[in-house]
Amino acid sequence: MNIAVRDPGKKREITLGNKLLTAEWRELVADPQLDIIVELIGGTTEAFDIVCAALRAKKPVVTGNKALLAERGPELFKLAEQNGVPIYFEAAVAGGIPIIQTIQEGFVGNHIRSIHGIINGTCNYILSRMTAEGVSYKDALADAQRLGFAEADPTLDVSGWDAAHKAIILASLSYGFWVKPEDAFVQGIENISQTDIRFAAQLGYTIKLLSVIRADEKGRVEVRTQPSLVPQQHVLASIGGAFNAVLVHGDIVGETLFYGKGAGQDPTSSSVISDIAEAAATLHYGSRHSGFVPHGLYGKSKPVEETVSKFYVRLTVADVPGVLARVAAVFGESGIGISSVIQPDESDEAGTTPLIFMLDTAMLRVVRSAMQTVAALDCVREDPSWLRVETMKE
């Protein structure tokens, strides 16, 4: 075993012999005594070069790089197929939860109807703290960084893109065609406030960063990651802290839930070691596909504007009579039903008050158009805040 690192002289938590370390990864790829290449550096540039070089050298690759696979997966799996060597990537999604192998092998006899996942531990920790303890987003993020759940630059996590990369991989494996990053809808948690958490709780919901993957009756696949209201009685609402959970609905197996630590060096190491063991077995016994097998049953992404769900909408409005009727009329004229309304008896110094609507199932395009009309009303003082409501029912 040899290890390529950016700085061989850097002090590390464990002692490694100098003979094990090198700053030149090309030496490792070219070494005939090394049979498997493990890429864990992250990013999509040099990591791409490493994986390509290893595949061309006909060496199996183990990687935990979700961004690399989500953005350049088609190129890599094509190269893997051409050279007859596989890519293993269990650690790329949900840390120590063996969801990749399950989708690829355990559910091979199923048509996947949907996947709902909490697959970013950082965001789940932040939202859990905000919900359970009433702390602000800023304070919860600072605690996540202090505890090592969030990076010094948490943008990839809190923007939703870390979870979105994982969702793209799961969608591609489940539906047999590679989903383009630009076809995935992504919204982060940066604007979630204690106000939304409070009203969601009054309505019987918890806010989670949820990745949703499913195919419609036409075979079009939607892939989206966004903060969503989850019913408090649903199992996903109880997933707290930095844990992950993936709910898979297959047409034969029904609903199955996978739960565990989704981040950190130990669960990630568990998945990497598992992949190395499988790669070694493949080298010894043979028979393994490239890591991604297209099957042609699906092949088109669903435009996010055509996706449907229930919606939570929060407005800041003038505290004067008639506002509720004016806003409700806009939704009614758009053909959007209203299932419930919260009109709290509270007003701030500016004479404004929150007004909360729970909308019945509607197409996102229609809801957005209606909210533009609502925002233009003279009684509405701020842009509407909206979140999806996920019931997890097919």
**Quick check: is 90 in a domain?**
yes
**Quick check: is 10 in a domain?**
yes
Q: Under a CB-based contact definition with an 8 Å cutoff, are residues 267 and 242 in contact?
A: no
**Quick check: is 293 in a domain?**
no
Pair (280, 159) in one structural domain: no
Q: Under a CB-based contact definition with an 8 Å cutoff, are residues 66 and 166 in contact?
A: yes
Pair (130, 169) in one structural domain: yes
pLDDT number for residue 5: 82
Which residue carries 């395009």 as its tokens? 365
DSSP single-letter state for residue 251: T
**Quick check: is 362 in a domain?**
yes
Question: Can you name the residues that pair with 340 across neighbouring β-strands?
Answer: 358
Pair (112, 65) in one structural domain: no
59, 166, 208, 302: which is the annotated catalytic residue? 166
Pair (67, 162) in one structural domain: no
Domain that holds residue 370: 307-389
Burial class (CB in 10 A: 0-12, 13-18, 19+), 59: buried
Question: Can you name the residues that pair with 230 across neighbouring β-strands?
Answer: 206
DSSP string, 258-293: EEEE-SSHHHHHHHHHHHHHHHHHHHHH-----S--
Pair (109, 151) in one structural domain: yes
**Quick check: is 11 in a domain?**
yes
Neighbours of 82 (CB within 10 A): 11
The count of structural domains within the chain is: 3
pLDDT number for residue 17: 65
Pair (122, 242) in one structural domain: yes
Q: Which residues of 192-215 are buried (b: 16+ CB within 10 A; e: fewer)?
A: beeebbebbeebebbbbbbbbbbb
Distance (Å, rounded) from C-alpha 338 to C-alpha 202?
16
pLDDT number for residue 227: 98
In one letter, which amino acid is 57?
A
Can you tell me whether residue 372 is helix, strand or coil? helix
Pair (363, 349) in one structural domain: yes
pLDDT number for residue 94: 87
pLDDT number for residue 262: 75
Distance (Å, rounded) from C-alpha 206 to C-alpha 78?
41
**Widest CA span of the chain, in angstroms?**
79
Tokens in use for 95?
A: 């840390």
DSSP single-letter state for residue 228: E
Of the three residues 285, 315, 340, the one that is the final residue of a domain is 285
User: In 3D, which of 41, 39, 3 has the Cα closest to residue 20?
Assistant: 3
pLDDT number for residue 286: 78
Pair (104, 243) in one structural domain: yes
pLDDT number for residue 18: 65
DSSP single-letter state for residue 348: -
**Quick check: is 302 in a domain?**
no
Distance (Å, rounded) from C-alpha 352 to C-alpha 117?
37
**Quick check: is 350 in a domain?**
yes
Pair (119, 13) in one structural domain: no
Which CATH number belongs to the domain containing residue 90 in this structure?
Answer: 3.40.50.720
Pair (315, 333) in one structural domain: yes
Of the three residues 226, 254, 285, the one that is the final residue of a domain is 285
Pair (237, 108) in one structural domain: yes
Q: What are phi and psi of 143, to 5 degrees?
A: -65, -40
SS3 content of the chain, % helix, strand, coil (to 5): 40, 25, 35
For each of the chain's 394 residues, which pLDDT tens digit applies? Answer: 788 888 787 777 777 766 788 888 999 999 999 999 999 999 999 999 999 999 999 999 999 999 999 999 999 999 999 999 999 999 999 888 999 999 988 898 899 999 999 999 999 999 999 999 999 999 999 999 998 888 889 999 999 999 999 999 999 999 999 999 999 999 999 999 999 999 999 999 999 999 999 999 999 999 999 999 999 999 999 999 999 999 999 999 999 999 998 767 888 889 999 999 989 988 888 767 778 877 767 779 999 999 999 999 999 999 999 999 999 999 999 999 999 999 988 888 889 999 999 999 999 999 999 999 999 999 999 999 999 999 887 6
Handedness of CA 181, 227, 371, 360 (dihedral sign): positive
Within 13 Å of residue 11, how many CA atoms lie on the same side as its CB?
Answer: 0
Is 302 one of the catalytic residues? Answer: no
Can you tell me whether residue 134 is helix, strand or coil? coil
Pair (314, 384) in one structural domain: yes
**Quick check: is 301 in a domain?**
no
From residue 88, alpha-carbon distances to 175, 273, 282 in Å are 18, 11, 11
Which CATH number belongs to the domain containing residue 320 in this structure?
Answer: 3.30.70.260
pLDDT number for residue 394: 62
Distance (Å, rounded) from C-alpha 267 to C-alpha 83?
30
Looking at the chain, list the stretches that DSSP marks H as alpha helix, in order from N- to C-terminal side: 25-30, 46-56, 66-83, 99-101, 121-133, 137-146, 155-158, 161-175, 194-202, 265-285, 323-333, 364-375
Distance (Å, rounded) from C-alpha 11 to C-alpha 297?
51
Strands 61-63 and 87-88, by their bridges, are parallel
